[in-house]
Amino acid sequence: MQAIIPVAGSGSRLRPITPGTPKALVPVAGKPVLEYILEQIAGLGIREVILVISPSGDAIRGFVDQRDELEARYVVQREPLGIGHAVYQCRGLLNDGPVLVVLGDIIYLSDYSFLGKEPPGHAIGVKRVSGDLTGYGLVEVLDGRITRLVEKPDHPISNTAIAGIYYFSRSGPLMDGLENLVKSDRRTRNEYQLTDALQWMVEKGEHLSPFDVDHLYDCGTPDRLLEANRRLLDLNGGNCSIPGSVIIPPVDIASGARVHRSVVGPHVAISSRASVVRTVVRDATIGTCARIENCDLRRSVVTPHAVLADTVERASTGARCAVYV
């Protein structure tokens, strides 16, 4: 089996975090988003990973190439023409065997047992959602089979959203659908959508089954990133003791971080070589080499190398988070 991870997006929804850090490398609960994805792929026994990167994707290459358990290849998406276009760029590297496609800004901690079913067919991860549905790709399901897919419809067709993880027992039908979009220049919102290629597959008689994604952490905006940070720390965060400071779990404090005369937690992740001095901080992520002194921070994202002093940020419940660059 091969895996495709599109990570060429500019991360516009994560600004101002992403100009200096690719969105796939933004840390959440102590690890970059991409590290969670690669660990799961490696855990499935998949060795061959194709990453779709932007022309400025050297940081992604450098990060992934450190992992000996994966054989990584790279495809450059030179124009931002959508996820469908990104996956289509991989066609020359696929072997027409099974392929797993995982979007690079969402963390999945889900059951992949569907991969062992015989015959596996094609399977699309889905999640039931509520509230405003206009920002989701949606599916209709009948008798365990996906019958219709629409990308971000103005009028929702269901409350079952596409979760951003896809399994194809053969890559050929997927590539045929994407080639049909590109050659006919069929775009939705000026992009070639993977959802439209899946709909083409359904219309050609391919069997697409849904599978439920129970634990999905969307890190595509600063607020969602902080929510993912909280939920992942609840699952995996720990406790520690630092003389002269108060640590309230769950937290993740990297071994190379400095914490001095501070109150940290709950739900705080501090990256390596960051410094937190005489500060109260909770519900926050603090990037590599950031320096914080004499602050009182709530619901905050501090980017790598940021310098912050004498700042009070007490965002009320439901308010947008503060981002410090």
The CATH number of whichever domain residue 266 belongs to comes to 2.160.10.10
pLDDT band of residue 135 (cuts 50, 70, 90) is: confident
Between CA 38 and CA 272 the distance in angstroms is 20
Are residues 231 and 244 located together in one domain of the fold?
yes
Cβ atoms of residues 288 and 213 within 8 Å: no
3-state secondary structure (DSSP) of residue 195: helix
Residue with tokens 């059951």: 111
Between CA 236 and CA 251 the distance in angstroms is 9
Please state the rounded mean pLDDT for residues 31-42. 91
CA distances for 157 relative to 153, 164, 193, 196, angstroms: 8, 18, 17, 15
102: tokens are 């995982």
Between CA 194 and CA 115 the distance in angstroms is 21
Q: Give percent of the chain above pLDDT 70.
A: 92
Higher pLDDT, 201 or 314: 201
CA-closest candidate to residue 145, choices 236, 198, 97, 207:
207
pLDDT band of residue 172 (cuts 50, 70, 90) is: very high
85 C-beta neighbours (distance < 10 Å), count: 22
3-state secondary structure (DSSP) of residue 38: helix
The pLDDT tens digits for 243-301 are: 999 999 999 999 999 999 999 999 999 999 999 999 999 999 998 899 999 999 999 98
Q: Which residues contact 314 (CB under 8 A, 6 or more apart)?
A: 296, 298
Are residues 297 and 227 located together in one domain of the fold?
yes
Are residues 40 and 139 located together in one domain of the fold?
yes
> What is the extent of the structural domain holding 297?
222-324
254 C-beta neighbours (distance < 10 Å), count: 15
Residue with tokens 């990297």: 254
For residue 11, pLDDT over 90 is answered with: no
Are residues 37 and 175 located together in one domain of the fold?
yes
Between CA 112 and CA 46 the distance in angstroms is 13
Are residues 228 and 214 located together in one domain of the fold?
no
If one counts the domains in the chain, the total is 2
Average of per-residue pLDDT values in the chain: 89
45: tokens are 């026994």
Please state the rounded mean pLDDT for residues 216-234. 88
Are residues 50 and 100 located together in one domain of the fold?
yes
283: tokens are 């519900």
104: tokens are 């690079």
Are residues 37 and 178 located together in one domain of the fold?
yes
Query: Taking the mean position of all CA atoms in its chain, how far away is CA 132?
Result: 21
Higher pLDDT, 204 or 27: 204
Are residues 245 and 281 located together in one domain of the fold?
yes
Are residues 192 and 292 located together in one domain of the fold?
no
Are residues 202 and 69 located together in one domain of the fold?
yes
What is the pLDDT at residue 4?
A: 97
Are residues 208 and 279 located together in one domain of the fold?
no
Are residues 201 and 116 located together in one domain of the fold?
yes
pLDDT band of residue 187 (cuts 50, 70, 90) is: very high
* For the ranges 105-109, 112-116, 205-209, 221-225, the one whose mean pLDDT is highest: 205-209
316: tokens are 């009320």
Between CA 77 and CA 7 the distance in angstroms is 9
Between CA 18 and CA 12 the distance in angstroms is 7
